[in-house]
Structure 1
Amino acid sequence: MKTTRRTLLQGAAFAGILIAAPRFSFATARSTTLRCVMHADLASLDPIATTASITAYHGALIYDTLFGHDADSITRPQMVSDYTVSDDGLTYVFILRKGLKFHDGQPVTARDAVASIKRWGARDGAGQHLFKRVADVSAKDDSSFSIVLNEPYPLILDWLGKSSPSICFIMREADASTDPGKPITEAVGSGPYMFNRAETRTGSQYVYDRNPEYVAVAEPASGFAGGKVAKFERIILQNMPDEQTAVSALQAGEIDFIEKISPELLSQLEGDSSVKLEVLNKTGAMGWLRMNTLQPPFNNVKARQAMLYLIDQAAVMQATFGDPKHYKGCASLFACGTTMESDANTGWFKGGQNIEKAAALFKEAGYDGTPVVIMQQTTLPVLSNASLLLAQWLRQAGVNVELVPLDWAGIVARRSNKGKASEGGWNIFMTYASGSAYNNPIALAGHAATGEKGWFGWPEDAKHEQLRDAWAAAPDLASRQKIAHEMQENAWNFVPHVYLGQWFDTAAMRSDVNGMIGLPDLVPFWNVSRG
């Protein structure tokens, strides 16, 4: 590692964090604490008010769920001990496991579950789709509650147990009863770890202590289901913006886990016996460009179609990942390598980048030269690089561009603004989701085309929504694949969003860290041990 003033200062800052941590000597902390460097800072504590992945990780540490999908995608009870379904498929009655407690000592009751389901249903894409069919959700007594439907909905348990944001975490009734559009600042769940606010340093480290009262399901951990056994006394999510510093700290044993390693740094770790490398998310990640469809120019479908011809996925991926073994181009609305992958209406992709075509479409859209504001995500290199390339291509197509560099927290704070870019809004931002998340037209909030009721960008298309309804009601995989094909044919006409390419991140961890479960949408920290 080349030593610079920057790395020296950051190394000193990291050492200061280690020294400042109370109660633990370094040797003790090493044996009982797992230190992890994640992809972003924790900007919000509310995993319902935001779909940010880092907040979902936080949620999975401190909250629990009614159900969970195991490694074979089978939905299994978690907080639920038993449930029944009426013969007509309209009434579900759930009974909670005995002995469930929140971190403040209060028992988990059916009222907590009811309030949590309602709050989740107001925000989550799958929850919103479900609640169009919900007649009532109510507590029967302290330990049981019911969901009554207007029509059968076979995916109800799948949605209650999914691991893609937003996850139906069970909160205290007082927290869950708040406005779902306003983030809660409390962080009290009933899960395997407890948020230690006293030792958390916002922007630096987030501390979670083992919940001694948590009783795990008496089954082996499997996917997002089974026994969530907290084997470490403490988990620390460390914020280290300089990746080289993080890599050096991992090799020195000062941290234990880095969620994502840039390809250019992998060579420093390959062959190091103290470190092991693993692709945890086998479905990869898809770069995702969202346009504000409520404001010009992207309120015009021609401008959105222009973006399909403007982006060169290979160039975007090459700029960050270099070796093609880490990425591939993908034009499937549902990601590549998934059960819903389709080749429908992808002539724009097969023909390659066409800036002249894009320029003509912007002209047809009536683009008037008003600056197009790109919120440049500075936290993740692939999205930062993509923003720079996009700005270049837009300018070549005759579009006036303004880049606004923001960390992920800044983007999360600004992306809910539906107004003009000149009044604090935006035109384009970029994020990503797992291939597994894209594979589901209902569960991924960004697949909705419900206008202002939907996810950031707010596209609207009635046919798309009809097809999503049909997909959810389809009786088998073949039927859903046929509908997914129709959905993609239509989607690439009205263009709800645009993709940047698909890549496969590598995680790095100390060689004595074992039991890390590879999930597409989460990094779970239960079942993980040292030695």
Structure 2
Amino acid sequence: MTISRRDLIKFGVAAGTALSIPSVLRAQTTDARTVRMVKNGDLSVFDPTLTTANITADHGAAVYDTLFALDSKFMPQPQMIGKWGVSDDKMTYTFELRDGLGWHDGTPVTAADCVASIRRWAQVTPGGQLIMARTADISKKDDKTFTISLKEPLGLLINILADIATPCMFMMREKDANLPATEQVTANIGSGPFRFNHALAKPGASFTYDRNEKYLPRKEPSNGLAGGKIVNVDRVIWNNIADQQTAFAAVQAGEIDYLQSPPMDLLSEIESDPNLQLTILDKAGSDYVLRMNHLQKPFNNVKARQAMLHLIDQEAFLRVVSPDPKYSRTVTSIFGNETPVSNDENTGWFKKGGDPEKAKELLKEAGYAGEKVVVLQATNVSEYNNISQLLANTLRKIGVNAELAPSDWGGIVARRANKGPIEGGGWSIFVTDEADYSLGNPLTTSFLLANGDKGWFGWPKNDEFETLRAKWADVETLDERKALARGMQRVWWDFVGDVRLGQQASPILHRKALSGLIGIPNIRPMWNMQKAS
């Protein structure tokens, strides 16, 4: 017998629990000091420097700490830093760590740890690479103090250090940070407010985080990611439940406290449940992005990429992830909808319903000859799963030999790094998303790189765009940035670095007993939250 989502609600909590909730959850008892969460996807990469995956950034925010943090108004505030200063010529920055910082292994955090962490992070992030290009030296002065000496001015230095575009800059022990940025750190020993419980780690099933009793929070009130990171629970468990219906039933039954992606077609029913609450933690939401492999056929041809731009019916794609239109809208700017530099330059390609005939014409001009187009399909992230299936069907309707390659999100993260052809395990397209907020800063988001195989997955390359992007660090006014953004967007949509599928600000689902959730783009911190008994 197949039980639909609506039937599950009608049958009530008892039926939902008995029929849909895994036995491992049914065996658990509720505990006011333990929070159980279901995140988007599965945690397969534990090193927050190694990937842009948001679930790894959430892991990083729990286990590690940062030098600076953004408050609720997106202003950088000291976090691990006790005090800092800059020389009169703005070329030397001096940072002193605050008292009480210690690693989970019992050793103290030192300036040498921070220097090594900055250098490792800078190898793989756009903002870090900019810092290193303008830096003469990063060195420790003593155990608690280090300096960044510039060879060129960089007024945005502190903003870049605090930025939340993934990979974020988390501090690691020197011996971990000395590993190449392409080699995963697996120790999971940080100085953050939670300890990773290795003994209870069950890959594919659950991961456990325990309150770090020795963590010394800042004295300021919690404010965005800044201020005191007060942990009010003893343990947080991430349960990996790929099926939304099963996860929702577990929340209804009180076996799960937090579900990051609730079933969007059941929001009205959720709202009627007195024990459940929907909360939008990131008001601007995220923009869905279609990344194409620029290194391999057919998308190494600009005409084929332009075909994708004309093919997409954004409203159709948004309907499969967000049936209620109040949570979504179309997006035509590479800088998102809500950022100060969002604009309408070179957006004549956008057409309600898409333009499949134009897409077929462009594919013909590209010389497309029926080559297989592999669409990576993340089966355990419902939004990506639904979008990928619609995309494959849409491509087939215009004669593209589209093939889905299903796997969990961890498999996508691994395979998307393959630059080779389909025959060698490569790929053609994958779907992802980026916080609308982060798209407003081309210095730090990996999505707005066009530096070829040195850049982010898909590896778009355009020298004119990169020349314009390089100017961003030196313009001083918003009007100058707006003008620069228009020029960048004109170039981007000509060579089609990627394709946008729409913007969604979707709610998370939690039981009303869980409060104190922090709303910020990209990261879902676990401090500050409380669970009533």
The normalised TM-score by structure 2 is 0.95
Greater shift in the superposed pair: 195-204 or 396-405:
396-405
- The C-alpha deviation readout for 1:80-124, integer Å capped at 9, x for no partner, is 111111122111111111221000001100110011001110111
Q: Hey, what does 1:15 align to over in structure 2?
A: 25
SS in structure 1 at match of 2:197: strand
Q: Hey, what does 2:451 align to over in structure 1?
A: 450
Confirm or deny: 8 A CA contact 1:90 1:151 kept in the other structure: yes
Q: Hey, what does 2:304 align to over in structure 1?
A: 303
Does structure 1 residue 395 correspond to structure 2 residue 390? no
Confirm or deny: 8 A CA contact 1:35 1:235 kept in the other structure: yes
SS in structure 2 at match of 1:509: strand
Q: 5 Å matches for 1:243-322?
A: 243-322=244-323
AA aligned opposite 1:336 = N
Q: 5 Å matches for 1:198-277?
A: 198-277=199-278
CA distance in 2, matches of 1:292, 1:139: 41
CA distance in 1, matches of 2:247, 2:398: 39
CA distance in 1, matches of 2:321, 2:56: 25
AA aligned opposite 1:48 = T
Q: Hey, what does 1:51 align to over in structure 2?
A: 52
SS in structure 1 at match of 2:350: helix
Q: Hey, what does 1:515 align to over in structure 2?
A: 516
CA distance in 2, matches of 1:204, 1:236: 10
Confirm or deny: 8 A CA contact 1:300 1:365 kept in the other structure: yes
- The C-alpha deviation readout for 1:252-305, integer Å capped at 9, x for no partner, is 221211112121122232122212211111011111110111111111111111
SS in structure 2 at match of 1:93: strand
Confirm or deny: 8 A CA contact 1:164 1:522 kept in the other structure: no
Q: Hey, what does 2:67 align to over in structure 1?
A: 66
SS in structure 1 at match of 2:344: coil
Deviation at 1:530, TM superposition (A): 2.2
Deviation at 1:397, TM superposition (A): 2.6
Percentage of pairs with the same residue: 45
- The C-alpha deviation readout for 1:343-402, integer Å capped at 9, x for no partner, is 111111146511121112122222232211111122222222222222222223332212
Deviation at 1:451, TM superposition (A): 0.8
CA distance in 2, matches of 1:45, 1:103: 16
AA aligned opposite 2:527 = W
SS in structure 1 at match of 2:434: strand
CA distance in 2, matches of 1:235, 1:446: 31
Q: 5 Å matches for 1:35-184?
A: 35-184=36-185
The normalised TM-score by structure 1 is 0.95
Q: Hey, what does 2:369 align to over in structure 1?
A: 368
Deviation at 1:10, TM superposition (A): 4.8
- The C-alpha deviation readout for 1:303-361, integer Å capped at 9, x for no partner, is 11111001111111112322211211111111112212111111111465111211121
CA distance in 1, matches of 2:514, 2:25: 22
CA distance in 2, matches of 1:120, 1:184: 12
AA aligned opposite 1:34 = V
CA distance in 2, matches of 1:11, 1:364: 52
Q: 5 Å matches for 1:390-429?
A: 390-429=391-430
Confirm or deny: 8 A CA contact 1:116 1:169 kept in the other structure: yes
AA aligned opposite 2:107 = Q
SS in structure 2 at match of 1:81: strand
SS in structure 2 at match of 1:405: strand
AA aligned opposite 1:467 = L
Q: Hey, what does 1:191 align to over in structure 2?
A: 192
Deviation at 1:9, TM superposition (A): 6.5
CA distance in 1, matches of 2:282, 2:198: 30
Confirm or deny: 8 A CA contact 1:63 1:192 kept in the other structure: yes
Deviation at 1:55, TM superposition (A): 0.4
Confirm or deny: 8 A CA contact 1:262 1:321 kept in the other structure: no
AA aligned opposite 1:463 = E
Deviation at 1:162, TM superposition (A): 1.6
Greater shift in the superposed pair: 448-457 or 468-477:
468-477
AA aligned opposite 1:220 = P
Confirm or deny: 8 A CA contact 1:285 1:503 kept in the other structure: yes
SS in structure 1 at match of 2:484: helix
CA distance in 2, matches of 1:285, 1:245: 25
CA distance in 2, matches of 1:191, 1:395: 48
SS in structure 1 at match of 2:502: strand
Greater shift in the superposed pair: 462-471 or 424-433:
462-471
CA distance in 2, matches of 1:10, 1:127: 46
- The C-alpha deviation readout for 1:61-81, integer Å capped at 9, x for no partner, is 010000011111211111011
Consecutive unaligned residues of structure 1, counting only runs of 5 or more, are: 20-25
Q: Hey, what does 1:23 align to over in structure 2?
A: none
- The C-alpha deviation readout for 1:460-505, integer Å capped at 9, x for no partner, is 1111112112122110222111211111111100111101111121
SS in structure 2 at match of 1:526: coil
CA distance in 2, matches of 1:445, 1:154: 21
CA distance in 1, matches of 2:461, 2:354: 26
CA distance in 2, matches of 1:384, 1:243: 12
Greater shift in the superposed pair: 409-418 or 336-345:
336-345
CA distance in 2, matches of 1:291, 1:214: 43
Q: 5 Å matches for 1:462-481?
A: 462-481=463-482
CA distance in 2, matches of 1:133, 1:457: 27
Confirm or deny: 8 A CA contact 1:386 1:500 kept in the other structure: no
Greater shift in the superposed pair: 196-205 or 1-10:
1-10
Greater shift in the superposed pair: 316-325 or 181-190:
316-325
AA aligned opposite 1:324 = P
Q: Hey, what does 1:22 align to over in structure 2?
A: none
Confirm or deny: 8 A CA contact 1:137 1:145 kept in the other structure: yes
SS in structure 1 at match of 2:479: helix
- The C-alpha deviation readout for 1:378-427, integer Å capped at 9, x for no partner, is 22222222222222222233322121112111100101010001111111
CA distance in 1, matches of 2:83, 2:361: 60
AA aligned opposite 1:13 = S
CA distance in 1, matches of 2:210, 2:63: 9
RMSD over aligned Cα atoms: 1.7
AA aligned opposite 2:85 = T
Aligned residues: 522
SS in structure 1 at match of 2:437: helix
Confirm or deny: 8 A CA contact 1:376 1:405 kept in the other structure: yes
